[in-house]
Amino acid sequence: CVYTENCFVPTSEIIAVEETELNKKQRNTGKWQKMAKPHAFTVYYVKKARNHRWRCSDVTFWCVDEHLCNQWIQALKELLDMQKCRPKQLLVYINPSGGKRQGKRIYEQKVAPLFSLASISTDVVVTEHANHAKDNLFEVNINKYDGVVCVGGDGMFSEVMHGLIGRMQKDSGIDQNNPKAPLVQCNIRIGIIPAGSTDCICYSTVGVSDPVTSALHIILGDCQPLDVSSIHHNNTFLKYYVSLLGYGFYGDILKDSEKKRWMGPMRYDYSGFKTFLSHHYYEGTISFQPAKHTRGSPRDKHRCRTGCYICKRSEQELAEQQKESGLKHE
């Protein structure tokens, strides 16, 4: 940990370490004026604010000896290099038409400087049409990247998700149209910079729709696993989905709002009110097939495939709950 004036900063939350250039005015002010040639380095770290928001803060350390200053910088950079989960090279897709058409500005002003500070190299693609990102992911050398970042809304995330998963199946010779085919798990992470009309996926994974917060999570290599489901009809693959699946009223709102993207986020309120006044009702049947040979349950004490612990309750609490619900403990 690095000690600042009022807190300890874990190395896992340090963004970058840089030598600080001291001008003449800084040298001749305050208690440092006694130093003939002071040297300093600045530590940039994550400062956690309210409502799950993160910000980049910094603290400067002063040294009387240049060699000591360089030793600190080198030691801290070596510690950062040990954080293997952090990305070094990212592929970025920007949707310039999403939301209020601020995606490009948000990335260039709020995200790109942070990536540069963290020494993350990026290849940026500004999408020109629908499914541009999806189609491009089938062509690029995906193995050179540590992750893919999408700047936009839920639609942009959906494009990148379909492109990545589809690319993995294609490279592995898996037929996506076969609902019984075992899909190859995608090992490339997706980062989301919210810049759309709705940012449901970003909000549900990070806890807030804020570009700076999302960028800092990406820099630190944070990962939130998501379950992905597929939809097939007559042995034909339709699409993947995460977070939610809408039918009926919700689907009609989305269908109508797509024709009014020029209205921006307001289109959802307009289409929702319009659909509500139509007094439609919906009938349907949902069929599902329970998974077999599952490796675990969210309520057990075993590690899941991603290595995290989902249930933190003690065995006693679990046994009491199972007893009350009439379940047998396996």
Q: How far apart are CA 132 and CA 141, in angstroms?
A: 16
Strand ranges (E), the chain: 2-3, 8-9, 14-20, 39-48, 54-63, 89-94, 121-126, 147-152, 189-194, 229-233, 236-241
The percent of the chain in helix, strand and coil, each rounded to the nearest 5, is 40, 20, 40
Q: In terms of Cα–Cα distance, which of 224, 128, 138 is closest to 176?
A: 138
Q: If 0-12 CB within 10 Å is exposed, 13-18 middle and 19+ buried, where does residue 39 land?
A: buried
| Sole residue written with tokens 């034909």 | 236
Asked whether the beta carbons of 2 and 76 are under 8 A apart, the reply is yes
> Which candidate in 154, 199, 210, 252 is catalytic?
154
Asked whether the beta carbons of 107 and 156 are under 8 A apart, the reply is no
The torsion of the CA quartet 276, 278, 284, 290, rounded to 10 degrees, works out to -20
Whole-number CA gyration radius for the chain: 25
| Sole residue written with tokens 């289109």 | 267
Angle between helices 249-258 and 266-277 (to 10 degrees): 130
Active site residue 154: yes
Burial code of 188-198, b = ≥16 C-beta within 10 A, e = fewer?
bbbbbbbbbbb
Q: How far apart are CA 156 and CA 323, in angstroms?
A: 45
Which residues are part of the catalytic machinery? 154
